[in-house]
Amino acid sequence: MTVNFLLVGNGAREHAIAKSLCKSPDVRLFACMSAKNPGIANLCQTSKGEFKIGNIENGREIAKWAKDKKIALAFPSPDAVLAAGVADELKKARIRICAPLKAAARVEWDKNFLRHLMVKYKIEGCPKYKHFTDEKGIDEFIDQLKEVAVKPVGLTGGKGVSVSGFQLKNSQEAKAYAKELLAKKTGGSGGVVIEEKLLGEEFTLMAFCDGKTMSGMRTVQDHKRAFEDDLGPNTGGMGAYCDNNHILPFLKQEDYDKSFDIMHRIMEALERESGEKYVGVMYGQFMATHGGVSVIEINARFGDPEAMNALAVLKTPLLDIFNAMADGTLADVKMEREAATTVVKYVVPEGYPNKAVEPFPIGIDYACLKKSGAEIFFASVDERDGQIFSGMSRAIAVLGKGASIAQAQVVAEEGCGCIFGRLWHRRDIGTPNLVQKRIEHMQKIRREH
Ligand code: AMP
Ligand code: GLY
């Protein structure tokens, strides 16, 4: 039976979701996009669906279109779309959804809400923190903690957080930054969260959730910093890798179990708070520290690029998983994965993330890509008259698969070499050298504390 599936969003993450869904021959893909992602557009055409370009945060309009197209299941994907209540409008129009409603997605768009929830429900892994809506007390709290992370409460595309020792040289700068965020109302007028700086290695755990059952994916490590050796400003993520099991090389099984448990408890707490089951993908960003795992943030969606790592090895049809999430039958789904590891690297325009250059044409040598074995996913690009142009953000994600992280890295690197334009990428992601540094860093953290 044909399933008319609606996907809202047009990044590389959504391209990967679309590609996975279209592996099920029954799917007719419908997509709402803010710019024409050539990969998603092509999948809509080949699956005999349709796409629409417009405002992807206008839930009412999307729900109307979905009704018209007889959509059987919908997945609004990006954070801003969930924060705009698109899932709520679809639900109101009686369209089945497998993504969280605005009240639950708040865990992502309100950083103070997450911390508050963790304290209220006594969920482990919450760093010391305070929420400020005016300057009073900021100086004292920073003096008390010394090393801090300063975060605007609302959404900033992963670029609003500054941390002592990285973007903030001293407590003077931390205080000034917190006050600047308040004055400029960065991320909205929700204020600023200041929390203790966590030391360790970061990792992502994503899970499919149906409100009762949570099914964890492999842990993935993203690379937030723009430049090699983890230097430069924060970005949406420059690339990510995972191993051929659930545990990254620097983690222990107990780190996985603890993070999974924390996310499960957050899923339950969100139901208690919002009165609705948490249905959708949950994304946990954790720091493995000397004292166990701590929560950096919880998102109500797939990570980008982490989605590419997770979906590339999934053998169970994504459509079956999404259907089970919507029906509350995830416990019956057997998750099967390939043994391969994955490395994803983003090619990004010159000037990213601070000030990308004006759009330029991007050339792709498909024969070269085929030879490399890499796969590509379009992100911030636009297609006009058959030519692909860069946008202002990450352009194309390149995925390499292999028997080991090192092998997958070589494939991804070769794939990056098949894309031309004023683009660059981090060559170090997934290299044996960098993975080894992570392992040694974690050993040092565990030893010294
Ligand atoms: P976020 O936008 O919350 O993901 O934060 C962006 C980045 O800031 C994270 O990926 C971390 O590298 C860093 N970060 C956030 N919170 C903390 C913290 N409490 N301690 C250390 N680093 C942090
Ligand atoms: N890669 C980070 C994120 O999706 O939030």
Residues with pLDDT less than 70, the chain: 157-159, 449
On whether both 37 and 166 belong to a single domain, the answer is no
Any domain includes 73: yes
Any domain includes 448: no
pLDDT value for 211: 96
The ligand that comes nearest to the alpha carbon of residue 220 is 2
Radius of gyration of the chain (CA): 21
On whether both 174 and 94 belong to a single domain, the answer is no
Which domain-ending residue is among 196, 212, 246?
A: 196
Range of the domain at 47: 3-99
State in Å: Cα 151 to ligand 1 middle. 8
Contact status, residue 300 vs residue 233, Cβ threshold 8 Å: no
**Ligand 2 close to Cβ of residue 11 (< 6 A):** no
4, 6, 43, 89, 392 from 67: Cα distances, Å: 11, 10, 21, 11, 33
Length reported for the chain? 449
Separation between Cα atoms, residue 7 and residue 31, nearest integer Å: 5
- Amino acid (one-letter) located at 406: A
Any domain includes 113: no
Contact status, residue 427 vs residue 42, Cβ threshold 8 Å: no
Q: Which residues contact 123 (CB under 8 A, 6 or more apart)?
A: 117, 262, 265, 266, 269
Read off the CATH number of the domain in which 191 is found. 3.30.1490.20
Domain count, the chain: 3
The ligand that comes nearest to the alpha carbon of residue 78 is 2
**Ligand 1 close to Cβ of residue 195 (< 6 A):** yes
**Ligand 2 close to Cβ of residue 341 (< 6 A):** no
State in Å: Cα 214 to ligand 1 middle. 24
pLDDT value for 179: 95
Any domain includes 68: yes
On whether both 163 and 258 belong to a single domain, the answer is no
On whether both 285 and 380 belong to a single domain, the answer is yes
Separation between Cα atoms, residue 446 and residue 449, nearest integer Å: 6
Does this model's pTM top 0.85?
yes
On whether both 303 and 377 belong to a single domain, the answer is yes
Q: Which residues contact 333 (CB under 8 A, 6 or more apart)?
A: 215, 316, 320, 321, 324
Any domain includes 295: yes
Read off the CATH number of the domain in which 40 is found. 3.40.50.20
- Amino acid (one-letter) located at 66: A
Which domain-ending residue is among 179, 196, 213?
A: 196
String of b and e for 350-382 (b: at least 16 CB within 10 Å)?
eebbeebeebeebeeeeeebeebbbbbbbbbbb
Which domain-ending residue is among 196, 227, 251?
A: 196
- Name the residue of 109, 206, 285 whose CB sits within 8 Å of the most ligand 2 atoms, as the mutation to test its pocket: 285
pLDDT value for 157: 66
Q: Whose CA is nearest to atom 3 of ligand 2?
A: 303
On whether both 341 and 367 belong to a single domain, the answer is yes
First to last CA, the chain: 58
**Ligand 2 close to Cβ of residue 108 (< 6 A):** no
